[in-house]
Structure 1
Amino acid sequence: MIFSGSAALPAILRANNYIIAGIHTAEVASDKLCALAQKRGFACAVIFKENFMKWRILLLSLGITVVCILVFTFAATQVYYNSTIDDGKEYLRVYMNVYEDGGYSSDADGARSLSERLNGARVTFMDGRGNVIADSDTDNSLTNHSDRKEVQDAILDGEGFAVRGSSTLGKNMIYFCKSYGSEKLVRIAVNVYSDWNIFVRTLPTAAQYFAVDLALCVLLAFVATHFILNPVKNLAADAVSGGVVTGKYSELEPIARILNERNRNIKLQLSQINAEKELAEQARKSKDEFISNVTHEMNTPLTSIRGYAELLGSGKMTEAQKAEAYKTILNQSERLTNLIACIINYGEIDSDELPPYEVDFTALAREAIKALKPEADKKQVTVIENIDDGVKIFSRHERVSEVFGNLLRNAIRYNKQGGTVTVTLTQGRLAVEDTGIGIAEENMGKVFSRFFTVDKSHGGKNGGFGLGLAVVKKICKKSGWDISVESKLGEGSKFTVEF
């Protein structure tokens, strides 16, 4: 008796686990709803990031235009510089003609006089080997300039040009040197800005363009965000409203398709969550009913066992009463053991990973009918056999026996006095039909639920625990079989399994 009472504890713990699992399922469904609501916030992201978009457009456009202005300024500087050099060469040729026409002496006075005539241009007289005879800007006579490019070109070709910084004056100059026979070289030079100096001198003007550019970029940022973000915000608003999103511009069609697909997925997930919530609610109700049934089923035998044990301990019972008490205690212990075994068996189906094999269903069905014949005879129920020979399926003997035994036992147990049960077994199909009490239409959807019984009287007069059909359904689902039921209240039921 102590063993039976202790064995009941795992059943209670399993029942509590079922309830906790049901509550957890409902919580998961609620969490999914919250996650979906957060996903719908993509419209808010479009709205609240508008200012950030303006800044990005402003900085990007400003950066591009500033670089373009600088590149243009530098390129224009190079063009202007090259043009200045070309013009300088022409001026120097004109200056050289002035020298040729003026008859100037080749000494320091002649160099300074010619320089004054040429608006301060530097004039240098050299002999045929590049030795300086006189210079208008400095006294560097006897200095040799044969290493200068313009001098070398003049000695070889008669004239030469060069643009470089003067080592004596520290200025950037353009030089023109011309040979007058083998004994005389005349060089005229004028100051010229370097390309870098010209670029630096243009920066104040470029700064004015930068200011105008900044104003235009700010205007562009506002206009661009208006024309770019407004259509996107409209798409987001349509998506949040749940309607079909359509884009006015072809560029936005991919976004519209994505939003429509997202809305469809959200609706599908919401419907799945609602279905899961309904299943969780149904499971909770079934578990509540199961707890009530199990509590009563366990209390009834335990109360009987304890009562009779106390009477036996008092020593006031007759021998006949003692025999009846022993019999009752054994019967109630067996009922309690069966209840616990049913609960444990139901929980072990999912973890059963033993390999299947070929089962002779014909032999198994006939043996089961023979074993349950005494129970059928008690209710005067006739079992009609329509069983084909050689029906075999790929499963395991104990699982097939559970399916067939539960269906046949229920057909007998819930049948009317003097009713019939028809068993039809063919290759790939089993049907068990009875003429019993039937199932109400509102209970058809719950008939395979765990712990559901047609008789609500806590196990009922028929002695069921509400796990038989749930076990059948679970085995069929795990094996890949289809099970269905047809029933009419007061006329009987028919259960069909397609293998």
Structure 2
Amino acid sequence: MARSISWRPLASYFFMLFVFYVALRFYVGESVNAWVVVFISLPFAIVLYWILLIRIRGPLAEISEVTKEMARGSLDREIRIYSDDEIGDLAKNINLLGRQLKQTIGEITEEKDRMGAVLNSMADGVVAVDGDGRILLLNPAVVRALNISGESCKGKDIVGVIRHLEFEQSLKIALETQKELALVIKALTPDPMYYRVIFTPLKGAGKGGVVALLRDITERRELDQMRSEFIANVSHELRTPLTSIKGFLETLLDGALEERETAIRFLKIINAETDRMTRLIGDLFSLSEIESGKVVPDREEVSMARIVEKVFSIFSHSAGERGIELNCHVPAELPVIIGDEDMLTRVVINLVDNAIKYSPDNSRITVEAGCSGKNEVMVSVSDQGIGIPEENLPRVFERLYRVDRARSREYGGSGLGLAIVKHIVDVHGGRIEVTSRLGRGSRFTVYLPVKLK
């Protein structure tokens, strides 16, 4: 406050009063004594200056101090001037301006935080660049997807941050043409990932910026690939028996019908191939119904011990013909589970059937059941068969996937048995695991939740 005091107003008032008094004395025709004029003008000048200091300069100094704080971003302090003159009106208006600025800044901050929360929560990546290709913003999805740093990238050239040739070329085209552009890129981060990138002009950004939206389509491409493989496998599985049937029929039509033994042998082969197609189509239909949810499992008490006993009776004859020993280890007091008995019976049938198909003669198959200690019933089927290579284990439950197509075709497998098992176990809230050693055999273990009391 002391620094703002200036003596120039006091000198101005003194000089003004001095001149006024001298002029007045001359006007009335009296002589002028300079010292008298000084002693008369000086008190009046001091009084006027004091009034100026109290009424004007003091409030203006407070207004100046508050406005400087407002310029620095502090909007909490208000001017404490409540007079009814022009200075009071000015103080009221500045206070009102400060309150409105504070409210506006709060709303802008809240909106910015809301938009930031939306961007941070998006599964799709968002990158905005200005007309020179410098990064304006990017959300965490981009940071995770492309394995780059976040805040440190802002203001940098995007070409130096996202090193991808197709992305750079498309961004350059989008910046130059200011038209929407879409493409699919492959990124190694470190696993191969596929992204659909859409470049859109950034409206209202001055020098023509661009917003890039990155959507992860890796899973979709994998599904498309699986669908293509499935269609190709189904076509192959149907074409093979149909080709065989057609060849034998043509041979029969060409005169083989006259040779009774040959005709009967050909007809048996045709019948076997027809049964194979029927099983394939039936399994496809069953799997489709389970996957689509059209088949809803019954919810009833089921004894896995009874199911294992039933399956043993079904396969005892076919296993005995090849000298395969079926062993069963099921405790008497096995907890019951809630599920569909027919569907769960099919699970055990498919597992035992697979074990018999891929086991050598005079080998052993063991079915065990028990409690896993996690409120689950465990049923496992172990064999001494050819085994499964470790790299193929993650795919054994895929539809129509076969480790050895020639051997599977020899034993009449459709390639859908394990896929059906997996889906039935899933709809019962369970899980299935597989372990295998090539040339030593495989073990499939199903875990199903027990009925809780």
TM-score where L is the length of structure 2? 0.50
Rate the CA distance shift 1:281–1:237 in 2: closer, same or farther, 3 A.
closer
Paired residue for 2:294? Answer: 351
Matched, 1:286 2:226: yes
1:366 is matched with which residue? 309
The answer to whether the 8 A contact 1:446-1:452 is kept is: yes
* Counterpart contact for 1:296–1:458, Cα < 8 Å: no
2:280 corresponds in structure 1 to 339
Residue 429 (structure 1) shift: 1.9
The secondary structure found in structure 1 opposite 2:379 is strand
Bigger share in helix: 1
2:77 counterpart residue number? none
* Conserved 8 A contact 1:360-1:390: no
Q: Which residue of 2 aligns with 1:92?
A: none
Q: Secondary structure in 1 aligned to 2:359? A: coil
Cα distance 1:327–1:448, how it changes in 2: closer, same or farther (>3 A)? same
Describe the shift of the 1:402–1:316 C-alpha distance in structure 2 as closer, same or farther (beyond 3 A): closer
Q: CA RMSD in A?
A: 4.9
State the AA in 2 paired with 1:364.
I
**Residues 241 and 274, structure 2, Cα contact 8 Å, conserved in 1:** yes
TM-score norm. by structure 1 comes to 0.46
Offset of 1:406 from its aligned partner?
Answer: 0.9
Deviation at 1:308, TM superposition (A): 2.5
Q: Please give the per-residue CA displacement for 1:283-339, whole angstroms capped at 9, x wherever unaligned.
A: 333333322222122112212222232333344531112111221221111111110
Supply the distance in 2 between the matched residues of 1:444 and 1:431 (Cα, whole angstroms): 16
Label 1:218 to 1:421 Cα distance change in 2 as closer, same or farther (>3 A): same
Residue in 2 that maps onto 1:471:
420
For 1:494, the equivalent position in structure 2 comes to: 443
Secondary structure in 1 aligned to 2:414?
coil
Relative distance call for 1:217 and 1:496 in structure 2 (3 A) is: same
Letter of the 1:358 partner, please give it.
E
Q: Deviations over 1:78-129 (max 9, x none)?
A: xxxxxxxxxxxxxxxxxxxxxxxxxxxxxxxxxxxxxxxxxxxxxxxxxxxx
Q: SS at the partner of 1:438?
A: coil
- Native 8 Å contact 1:305 1:329 kept in 2: yes
Distance in 1 separating the partners of 2:323 and 2:399 = 30
| Distance in 2 of aligned mates of 1:313 and 1:222 | 97
Change (3 A) 1:241 1:385: closer
| Separation in structure 2 between the aligned mates of residue 414 and residue 280 of structure 1, nearest angstrom | 34
Work out the CA distance in 2 between the residues paired with 1:228 and 1:489: 68
Superposed displacement of residue 404, structure 1? 0.2
What CA deviation, in whole Å up to 9, does each residue of 1:330-388 have, x standing for no partner?
A: 11111111100000011122212253223343333223223223433454332212123
Could you say what secondary structure the match of 1:372 adopts?
helix
1:344 partner letter: F
Residue aligning to 1:398 = 342
Aligned pair partner of 1:329 in 252, 270, 290 = 270
Q: How far apart, in 2, do the equivalents of 1:213 and 1:303 lie?
A: 97
Unaligned runs of 5+ in 2: 1-81, 121-138, 148-188, 196-214, 372-376, 449-453
Instruction: Indicate the percent of aligned positions where both proteins have the same amino acid.
Output: 28
Contact 1:287 1:451 in 2 (8 A): no
State the alpha-carbon separation in 2 of the partners of residues 457 and 412 from structure 1: 17
Describe the SS at the equivalent of 2:397.
coil
C-alpha distance in 2 between matches for 1:230 and 1:293? 58
Q: Which residue of 1 aligns with 2:362?
A: 418
Describe the SS at the equivalent of 2:443.
strand
Q: Which moves more between the two structures, 233-242 or 363-372? A: 233-242
Alignment of 1:81-480 (within 5 A): 277-317=217-257, 318-349=259-290, 350-353=293-296, 355-389=298-332, 391=334, 392-426=336-370, 428-457=377-406, 459-480=408-429
Q: Which deviates the most, 467-476 or 336-345?
A: 467-476
8 A contact 2:297–2:343 mirrored in 1: no
How far 1:213 moved relative to its partner? Answer: 8.8
**C-alpha offsets along residues 451-476 of structure 1, whole Å, 9 cap, x if unaligned?**
22222449543332221111111111
Contact residue 483 and residue 497 of structure 1 kept, 8 A: yes
Q: How far apart are residue 438 of structure 1 and its match? A: 2.0
Kept after mapping to 2: 8 A contact 1:453/1:465: no
Indicate if the aligned counterparts of 2:387 and 2:436 stay in contact, CA closer than 8 A.
yes
SS in 1 for 2:442: strand
Structure 1 residue 483, shift from structure 2 partner: 1.8
Query: In the alignment, which residue of structure 2 is the partner of 1:127?
Result: none
In the superposition, relative to structure 1, how do residues 226 and 354 fare at CA in structure 2: closer, same or farther (>3 Å)?
closer
Secondary structure, in 3 states, of the residue corresponding to 1:358?
A: strand
8 Å CA contact 2:297, 2:339 repeated in 1: no
Counterpart CA distance in 2 for 1:455 and 1:379 is 21
Given that residues 234 and 400 in structure 2 are in contact (C-alpha distance below 8 angstroms), is that contact kept between their aligned partners in structure 1? no
Question: Which amino acid in structure 2 is aligned with residue 346 of structure 1?
Answer: L
